Amino acid sequence: MKYIYGNWKMNFLDQDVNKFIKDFKKEKKPANVEFGLAVPFLHLQKMVKKLQKKCFIGAQNVCYAESGAYTGETSAKMLADKKTCFSLVGHSERRTKFLETNEQINQKIKLLLNNGIMPLLCVGETKEERAEKKTKRVLKTQLTKALKDVPNGKKFIIAYEPVWAIGTGITPEKSEIVENISYIKKVLSENNYLGICVLYGGSVNPENAKSLLGDDIIDGALVGGASLDAKKFVNIAVNLMRE
Ligand code: PGA
């Protein structure tokens, strides 16, 4: 099974959502691929209603607190109430532009799990950290802090997203992705988190899907830009599964 998850970020008006739903339903999807889409809060309800049977629908963020005086925020309980399957947590844009800390990310993961929503945790190094050969140290810190006191046996997904590859059109060599995902899986299993899927994210498109993701250790992709076009999004899966 491979997992192709999308992240619409802050894009799409109603008319774009309607077009996507129509196009996505039309596309022939390969077997053994699970699709998911993290959409803006305003589109969650419609997407759950119209597409949940074909594609898991998720949020892009959740509040680190349970409820109360947090103007502008959305709680895990509210997401569960709307039948949201999963939520992104710790995307690099949230870490840098909204100053999200590993401690808040940890609180978010625990609240999601308590409300039956699967966290999709994003981790990854910056260009500078990579140049200074700190990638593994960064990944270990992000993982251990985000998963502090998270019980074993819970279902979640990790996306390895090198920050320098997000939205840049620049990607690592597959060997580098394999090395870092293997390391993430090693850290997870050392902490008794077993059978956790690890996706790659950063400038994935239909053209590079096979060469970038075609390895047993890579469980799939988290796709930003190319998830805004239903055909491209599905074709990432089609090309990946091609013999
Ligand atoms: P990208 O974004 O595919 O546009 O590089 C990936 C992401 O931010 O998850």
- Ligand 1 pocket member 166 (CB < 6 A): yes
Domain segments of the chain as ranges? 2-241
Pairing of strands 33-38, 220-223: unpaired
> 213 alpha carbon to ligand 1 midpoint, in Å?
14
Catalytically active residues are 91, 161
- Ligand 1 pocket member 8 (CB < 6 A): no
Mean pLDDT of 84-110: 98
Distance CA 29, CA 154 (A): 28
pLDDT for res 232 = 98
> 149 alpha carbon to ligand 1 midpoint, in Å?
29
- Ligand 1 pocket member 124 (CB < 6 A): no
Q: How far is CA 140 from CA 31, 96, 149, 165, 190, in A?
A: 34, 18, 15, 19, 11
pLDDT band at 103 (very low <50, low <70, confident <90, very high): very high
Mean pLDDT of 106-132: 98
What would the pLDDT profile of 63-91 be if each residue is shown by its tens digit? 999 999 999 999 999 999 999 999 999 99
Distance CA 21, CA 49 (A): 11
> 136 alpha carbon to ligand 1 midpoint, in Å?
21
pLDDT for res 108 = 98
Q: Please state, rounded to an integer, the average pLDDT across all residues of the chain.
A: 97
At residue 184's C-alpha, the angle toward residues 225 and 39, to 5°, is: 30
Q: Is a pLDDT exceeding 90 seen at residue 61?
A: yes
Name the residue with the closest Cα to ligand 1, atom 6.
224
Of 60, 82, 79, nearest in space to 9 by CA? 60
Distance CA 226, CA 204 (A): 7
Mean pLDDT of 151-162: 97
Q: List for the chain the helix, strand, coil content (%; round to 5).
A: 45, 15, 40
Q: How many C-beta neighbours within 10 Å does residue 33 have? A: 17
pLDDT for res 23 = 98
Task: List beta partners, residue 57.
Answer: 37
What would the pLDDT profile of 222-231 be if each residue is shown by its tens digit? 999 999 999 9
Q: Is a pLDDT exceeding 90 seen at residue 243?
A: no
Closest approach atom of ligand 1 to CA 9: 8
What percent of the chain clears pLDDT 90, i.e. is strictly above it? 99
What would the pLDDT profile of 51-60 be if each residue is shown by its tens digit? 998 999 999 9
> 89 alpha carbon to ligand 1 midpoint, in Å?
14
Distance CA 204, CA 208 (A): 6
- Ligand 1 pocket member 204 (CB < 6 A): yes
Closest approach atom of ligand 1 to CA 223: 3
- Ligand 1 pocket member 36 (CB < 6 A): no
Superfamily classification of domain 2-241: Aldolase class I (3.20.20.70)
Mean pLDDT of 169-193: 97
Mean pLDDT of 193-202: 97
What percent of the chain clears pLDDT 70, i.e. is strictly above it? 100
